[in-house]
Every structure is written in structure tokens, then in C-alpha cells.
Amino acid sequence: MVKWLRSSKTSMVISTIIRLYVGVVWFLSGFGKISSGNFSASSMIDMAIKNPVTDANGQPAYDFYTSFLKSVVQPNIDVFNFLVEYGELFIGLGLIFGTLTTAATFFAMGLNFNYLLAGMISTNPLLLFLELIILVAGFNAGKIGLDRWVVPFMREKLPFLKKSVE
């Protein structure tokens, strides 16, 4: 399956369709936050701290994450608001245009995991599944996009990338 995802022309088309869908979802989310001009994650952060995700025994499942939210995110909420807004926008653009597809997908998955750790289910599981397909497809997922030219250029200019796999 992995070999097919990484080398098949059919897989290239399917992963491009998936990539475009996921990219549009991320782009619209980021664009909506930026264009509203009043996005703030503080209420979501407060909710995640007051009502953390619990395990089967009713105990907080991710104490480390609640501590991270309290000690790092809350005091720097303006920085994290900016990172979320523009992170979602640029992830979306990267996936739509097929530019640095693997990196964009990696950061998308990171945001999805953060949202899940905070207890926000929404579309995060579906996006994670689709992003996993894109990530496994690797370079093939960006061939119908700017990665067709960007990745070979970067491999030529940055010697440590020449050993990377396709």
C-alpha cells in the first residue's frame, strides 16, 4: 500500500484530491479567523484547562498538556492566536498549491493533535486520517502542484536533502 501511494499515478491523483480538500478546509479556517479580526483562543484554552479530557476513571488524561496550556499558552495568548490564524492559513495555501506538501501536512497534523488534546473533536479525526494518507504518499502527493519543481530545486541547493526518499 505504501509503495502504491508513493509511486502510482492513480495514487497521485487521489492524494491530490485529498490534499486539495484538506488544504481548502485549513485555508478557510485560517482566513475566517484572520478576516474576522477578533479571533482569540483564550476561551477555548480556558475551557480546556477547566474541563480537561478525562480517562476511563474520570481523571485528567493529559496532565502534561493542561500544564503546558497554563504555563506557556495562557501567558502568551497573543503569540498563539497569531500562530493559529496564520498557521492554518499557510498550511492551507501549502496544501492547495502543493508547495512543501509534506511540511504543511506535518504542521497540520500537529495542530490537529493539539486540538484533540484540548478536547476539541470536531473534524480533527477525519483530517488526521486524510493527512496521514498525504504524509505517507510523500512527494507523490505534491507532484500535481508546485512540489514538482520546488522539491528538486531544494534537493539540488541543500545537499542534506539529496539523500531523502521519494
- Across 27-95, the runs of DSSP E, i.e. the strands, are none
Looking at residues 54-79, what average pLDDT do you find?
A: 95
Q: What is the pLDDT of residues 91-123, one digit of tens each?
A: 999 999 999 999 999 999 999 999 999 999 999
Q: What's the rounded Cα separation, in Å, for the pair 75 and 63?
A: 18
Q: Is the pLDDT of residue 41 over 80?
A: yes
Q: In terms of pLDDT, which residue wins out, 130 or 121?
A: 130
Residue in 115, 118, 106 with CA at minimum distance from that of residue 49: 118
Q: What is the pLDDT of residues 2-18, one digit of tens each?
A: 899 888 999 999 999 99
Q: What is the pLDDT of residue 164?
A: 59
Proportion of the chain above pLDDT 70, given as a percent = 97
Contact 99, 142 (CB under 8 A): yes
How far CA 48 is from CA of 26, 58, 64, 95, 102, in Å, comes to 22, 15, 12, 29, 29
- How sure is the predictor about 156, in pLDDT bands with cuts at 50, 70 and 90? confident
